A and B are shown apart, each in its own frame.
Chain A
Amino acid sequence: GAVVSQHPSRVICKSGTSVKIECRSLDFQATTMFWYRQFPKQSLMLMATSNEGSKATYEQGVEKDKFLINHASLTLSTLTVTSAHPEDSSFYICSARGSGSEKLFFGSGTQLSVL
């Protein structure tokens, strides 16, 4: 089956630094990718939707200048957390969907800890 690879699985960084998370579709072209985050003891929440070659659509309350999403190719989307702060510490996960398909494939997630 289709595979989505997400890296890194875990990252610890200092406050003020930027962190990039990659999401790759390994055997299909991902025309749409979704980015989610989950704070401890809370539900997974959609952050943004990105279509290849277009600007991402952000959910209400998600700062687009802080969470930069790039989906420049059909196999790669990146989420960059700029000037990370401890409150950005969360579990981030991506999912991808191919053209004409409703089925979602998920990365395994990235645990971000900002000190």
Chain B
Amino acid sequence: KQEVTQIPAALSVPEGENLVLNCSFTDSAIYNLQWFRQDPGKGLTSLLLIQSSQREQTSGRLNASLDKSSGRSTLYIAASQPGDSATYLCAAHNNNDMRFGAGTRLTVKP
């Protein structure tokens, strides 16, 4: 059974800093790995999707990497802004099953 862990659980940084969020998974036989953000009162917003054959994906200030062999993914946020404050979740998609990490609550202080 896949287990997904996210570290840290919470992170507070000053505006402008670059930061890295970590996601680890126990079963490397994944179809894909996704990163989401969750804003208060809302559902998930998909940020980046990395297929199992890919090693990274980029969108604007976000870059996500995937290392299946080590069971790790990272989400890099460059030049953080207060609007980036949210909870970030990763999810590993295996056969008929998607497992989410518990999330990292990010606060970017002005």
A108 touches B43 (CB 8 A): no
Known contacts: A102-B87, A108-B98. The answer to whether A44 contacts B34 by CB under 8 A is yes
A9 within 8 A of B: yes
Nearest Cβ in chain A — how far from B54, in angstroms?
11
Would you call the interface of chain B mostly helix, strand, loop, or mixed? strand
For B51, list chain A residues within 8 Å (CB): 41
Q: Which of B43, B99, B100 contacts A46 (CB 8 A)?
A: B43
Known contacts: A102-B38, A102-B87, A104-B38. The answer to whether A43 contacts B46 by CB under 8 A is yes
Q: Which of A41, A102, A106 contacts B98 (CB 8 A)?
A: A106
In this complex, how many residues of chain B approach chain A with their Cβ under 8 Å: the count is 22
B44 touches A36 (CB 8 A): yes
In this complex, how many residues of chain A approach chain B with their Cβ under 8 Å: the count is 22
Most B CB within 10 A of own CB, among A36, A42, A108: A108
Nearest Cβ in chain A — how far from B97, in angstroms?
5
Known: A41-B32, A91-B98. 7 other contacts (CB 8 A): A38-B98, A42-B49, A43-B49, A46-B43, A104-B38, A104-B44, A106-B99
Provide a sorted-by-A list of 29 A–B residue pairs whose CB atoms are within 8 angstroms.
A9-B96, A10-B96, A34-B43, A34-B44, A41-B51, A43-B34, A44-B34, A44-B36, A44-B98, A46-B44, A46-B45, A49-B43, A91-B93, A93-B98, A95-B43, A95-B44, A102-B38, A102-B40, A102-B41, A104-B38, A104-B43, A104-B89, A106-B91, A106-B98, A106-B99, A106-B100, A108-B99, A109-B96, A111-B96
